[in-house]
Amino acid sequence: MVQFDNQYRQVKVKIVYYGPALGGKTTCLQHIHKRTDPQQRTKLYSLNTASDRTLFFDLLSLSLGKIRGYRLALQLYTVPGQVQYNATRRAVLSGVDGVVFVADSQESQREANLESLDNLSENLEANGLDRSSVPIVFQYNKRDLSPLLGIEDLEAQLNAEQAISFPTVAITGEGVMEAFAAITEATLTTVASRLGVDTSPQAVSQLRAQAQAALRPLVSVGEVESAGDGGVEVTRPTMVTEGEGPLPEQELVQEAVSANVAMTDLAARLDAVRTQLERKVRVLEGIADFGRGIANERDPDGVLQRLLDQGLELLRAQAGAIIVVPAAGTLREAVMSGLDRDPMLATQDEAGEPLALVLLNDSKPQLMARDLEGVGDSLVMEAVESAGYLSAVAVPLVAQGRVAGLLTLYGDGSRPPLDEDDIQLATVLGSAAAMGYANALAWGRLEDLNLGLEAQVNARTKEVRESLDEVQRLAADLREKNVLLNDAYRDISELDQTKSELINRISHELKTPITSLLAASKILQRSDDGVSEGQRRFVTIIRDEAEKLAEIVQSVFQASILAATQQRPECSSVPVQQLLKSALAPLRELAKGREVALHVLVPAGLETILCEPQTMEAALRAVVKNAIEFNQGGGEVKIEVRRFVRDSASWVEVKVVDSGVGIPDVELPYVFDAFWQGGNVLTGKPRGVGLGLAIAKRVVESHGGKITISSAVAEGTDVVLELPQGIEAEA
Ligand SMILES: Nc1nc2c(ncn2[C@@H]2O[C@H](COP(=O)(O)OP(=O)(O)OP(=O)(O)O)[C@@H](O)[C@H]2O)c(=O)[nH]1
Ligand SMILES: [Mg+2]
């Protein structure tokens, strides 16, 4: 009876190898065990007697992959052939879905075969089963021995219902797998009815196709087991007879067989779980290796190649490809294995789009395998099948929300169809690879950028170097010009010096004759005797011209002073009295002539001041002269000198106060300008060329000092000169 196991989502099909003692049943299972894929089978469990005859049964469990979400498991049992173990045979037959009757072809075994076949019918009946409703396949075994019964004989004796039969040699495996495939197929009708699809002939034929596809790789695998008894577990149970007193033999055997069936079944299940776990561990290790590999992969195509290799290995697929999207609207196979062209790229849908594009746009993993309900997209399935494959998975490679490509893997008839587990695995690999691919692409772009930057930096470095050379050339040029300029400046300075000295000397030399000329002409003007009117006129002309000449000489002298203020003054300690005396001497006559009194006030103890005597004398003279000239008859000019302290430094103040006409406010800001002449408010004609106060200001400032003026019209003007003394004031 086909069993459903909802907890493990399994459908179990029970096939029992039946026949006379020593007919070769166990040998058949051993052969099937050796020939099948270790991934799809459990160990072979044998419960034997001490002399290695079958005591209870042998059990081999095989997996046929998934059908409608259920794993289809075939459970192959043998019974003990020895007559005395009938109770065991009966127990093992319970719930059987198909029987392989292993007859012994030797002439000597004619009776034993017949007895065993009868015994089978009896025991089926005892289990509530009808002999005609249980599928049966015959093996006429030991065809290598003699004397043998003819096949026709055997058929006539045993196979009245003309079931499928095979001549076999179990020790070499001849015919064994064929008989196994035949009984499996024969049980599928029962499976279909258990799955509830037996009413649809189409569903049944699909189930058959699927089972055949699943069986094909199982029976086509060569000898895979290593030498020795690897994968075979032999148990020699001891019968429990003591305890609750003697049981009737029948019940005892029933109990023992049931217990052993349950135990072996559990062992088989554990073995299946172990196989699955081992596979999962291998897969996880593969994924971990893969992750490490792509994390260090800098080449995008390298990432894709690793993905394809790993996908083929872990999914045990026969072919595959990775299609990438190099630019919008274009698709190409980046890497391929076992294919000339990816069927998903070679085939187009009704709209003329390649199927790969449809799958990419869908951006969901797709499983393509025929099952009972068929597949969603028959076009895709057709493309897979027309390329010679039976199943496929297609997984879009998505990283950071961008679809970068499509991984396709194809399975042929040598493996069970790819299933949900495979697609999950491919999805895990695909998402890791998509990330690695995006990283590798980004890395490449970064490298390109770096190269570009390097080129730019080189170009800029060259430019900078060139402009640096240019700057150096200019600097050298500038240095040369500077030398020339310095030479020229020195020449000019020398010339200037010579000129100043010349002017100084000339003005000095001219002063004395002019003064004499003026004095003589004044005397002549005053004397009456013997001077004609005509002569007097000439004397007046001489005096006027001499005065003009004196003015001109004075101006030239002032100009030379002005020029001198552009250099640093050469200061020395000058006696105050002497400075004032020489400054005022030339003005005494002017003051007398204008009836202006001059008063000088120098406090006791102020002996000297620090200045350049020649220019300072000119400055003082200019200020006092101004005060006299802008005065009125009977007025006075006071010159007060005092020492004071400012910011802990010693200063000297010279204040020139007059009682003159004063200067209007609007004119005050201009009085220190060169060539200014305050003519408007004067009582007399303006004199000189207006350099006096400008010279005073320049001289004072060239000494680091300050000159200020305050005035009130009709009252008088105060001019204050402040001069630093270059010494710390005493506290
Ligand atoms: N020459 C030859 N020997 C065979 C063949 N099949 C089985 N044998 C041998 O026959 C003996 C018995 O085989 P088993 O497979 O143990 O027979 P069995 O049907 O399981 O026997 P029980 O478990 O006692 O019922 C072994 O020594 C096998 O090697 C065959 O086709 N040819
Ligand atoms: Mg046996």
Each residue of 239-248: pLDDT tens digit? 543 334 444 5
Please work out whether the CB of residue 80 comes within 6 Å of at least one atom of ligand 1.
Answer: yes
Q: Which of 18, 26, 28 to mutate for ligand 1's pocket (most ligand atoms within 8 Å of CB)?
A: 26
Query: 729: pLDDT confidence band, cut at 50, 70 and 90?
Result: low
Query: Where does the pLDDT of residue 684 fall: very low under 50, low under 70, confident under 90, or very high at 90 and above?
Result: very low
Ligand nearest to the CA of 102: 1
pLDDT band at 302 (very low <50, low <70, confident <90, very high): very high
Residues forming a β-bridge with 322: 335, 407
Delimit the domains of the chain by residue range: 3-277, 300-441, 568-728
Ligand 1 binding pocket mutation candidate from 27, 31, 32 (most atoms within 8 A of CB): 27
Q: Is the CB of 20 under 6 A from ligand 1?
A: no
User: Which H/E stretch holds residue 212?
Assistant: helix 201-220
Query: Can you give the pLDDT at residue 678?
Result: 56
Whose CA is closest to atom 13 on ligand 1?
24
Q: Residue 627: what residue type? A: A
Could you give the CA distance from residue 585 to residue 558 in angstroms, rounded to a whole number? 17
Q: How would you list the strands of the sheet with 391-399, edge to edge?
A: 332-337, 319-324, 402-411, 391-399, 366-369
Q: Identify the pLDDT of residue 685.
A: 45
In ligand 1, which atom is closest to the CA atom of 170?
31
Minimum mean pLDDT among 103-117, 370-384, 502-516: which range? 370-384
Q: Whose CA is nearest to atom 32 of ligand 1?
A: 142
* Full DSSP string of 265-276: HHHHHHHHHHHH
pLDDT confidence of 155, banded at 50, 70, 90? very high
The two three-digit tokens of residue 525, written as one number: 């003007």
- Report the chain's terminal Cα–Cα distance, integer Å: 128
Q: Work out the average pLDDT over 380-389.
A: 91
**C-alpha distances in angstroms, 366 versus 271, 375, 380?**
31, 10, 10
Atom of ligand 1 nearest to the CA of 78: 20
Closest CA to 75 of 57, 102, 89: 57
* Ligand 1 pocket member 187 (CB < 6 A): no
Element (H, E) at 279: helix 249-295
More confident residue, 382 or 727: 382
Least confident of 372-376, 522-526, 654-658: 372-376
> Quick count: other Cβ atoms within 10 Å of Cβ 722?
18
Residue of the CA atom closest to atom 30 of ligand 1: 142
148 lines ligand 1 (CB under 6 A): no
Q: According to the CATH classification, is domain 300-441 in 3.30.450.40?
A: yes
222 pLDDT above the threshold of 60 = no
Ligand 1 contacts CB of residue 171 (under 6 A): yes
**Mean pLDDT, residues 436-453 taken together:** 85
What mean pLDDT do residues 585-598 have? Answer: 89
141 CB near ligand 1 (under 6 Å): yes
* Closest residue CA from atom 12 of ligand 1: 22
Cis amide leading into 147 (omega within 30): yes
Least confident of 69-83, 525-539, 599-613: 525-539
Decide: 316 in ligand 1 pocket, CB within 6 A: no
Q: Has domain 568-728 been given CATH number 3.30.565.10? A: yes
Determine whether the shortest distance from the Cβ of 54 to ligand 1 is under 6 A.
yes
pLDDT recorded at residue 66: 75
pLDDT at 115 over 60: yes
- The answer to whether the CB of 635 is under 6 A from ligand 1 is no
- Residue 292: per-residue pLDDT: 86
Write the DSSP symbol of residue 146: S
Q: Tell me the C-alpha distance between 496 and 500, whole Å.
A: 6
Residue 31 scores a pLDDT above 60: yes
| Residue 144 Cβ < 6 Å to ligand 1 | yes
The yes-or-no verdict on residue 89 having pLDDT over 70 is yes
Residue 44 has pLDDT above 70, yes or no: yes
* The pairing of beta strand 391-399 with beta strand 366-369: antiparallel
**Global pTM value:** 0.52
Q: Do domains 300-441 and 568-728 have the same CATH topology?
A: no
731: exposed, middle or buried (Cβ count in 10 Å: 0-12, 13-18, 19+): exposed
Question: According to the model, what pLDDT value does residue 652 have?
Answer: 93
C-beta separation of 81 from 22 below 8 A: yes
Q: What is the mean pLDDT of the chain?
A: 84
> What pLDDT is attached to residue 688?
46
- Tokens, residue 428: 């895990």
pLDDT tens digits, residue range 398-427?
888 888 899 999 998 888 888 888 999 999
Query: 120-124, 306-310, 520-524: lowest mean pLDDT where?
Result: 520-524
145 lines ligand 1 (CB under 6 A): yes
The backbone torsions φ and ψ at residue 562, rounded to the nearest 5 degrees and listed phi first, read -55, -45
Average pLDDT over residues 602-606: 88
Q: Which two tokens stand for residue 23?
A: 């007919």
DSSP-derived 3-state class of residue 50: coil
CA 727 – ligand 2 centroid, Å: 133
pLDDT(147) > 80? yes
Note the pLDDT tens digit of each residue in 525-575: 777 677 788 888 888 888 888 888 887 777 777 777 777 667 778 889 999
Q: Which ligand is nearest to the CA of 109?
A: 1
Q: What's the pLDDT at 271?
A: 80
Q: Is 21 in the pocket of ligand 1 (CB under 6 A)?
A: yes
DSSP tag of 219:
H
| pLDDT score of 596 | 92
The domain defined by 3-277 carries CATH number 3.40.50.300: yes
Q: Give residue 396's pLDDT.
A: 93
> Is there an atom of ligand 1 within 6 Å of 174 CB?
no
The number of the ligand 1 atom at minimal distance from the alpha carbon of 27 is: 15
Low-confidence winner among 13-22, 110-119, 541-550 (lowest mean pLDDT): 541-550
What is the pairing mode between strands 3-5 and 10-18?
Answer: antiparallel
Identify the band that residue 5 occupies on the pLDDT scale cut at 50, 70 and 90. low
Pick the more confident residue, 46 or 705: 705
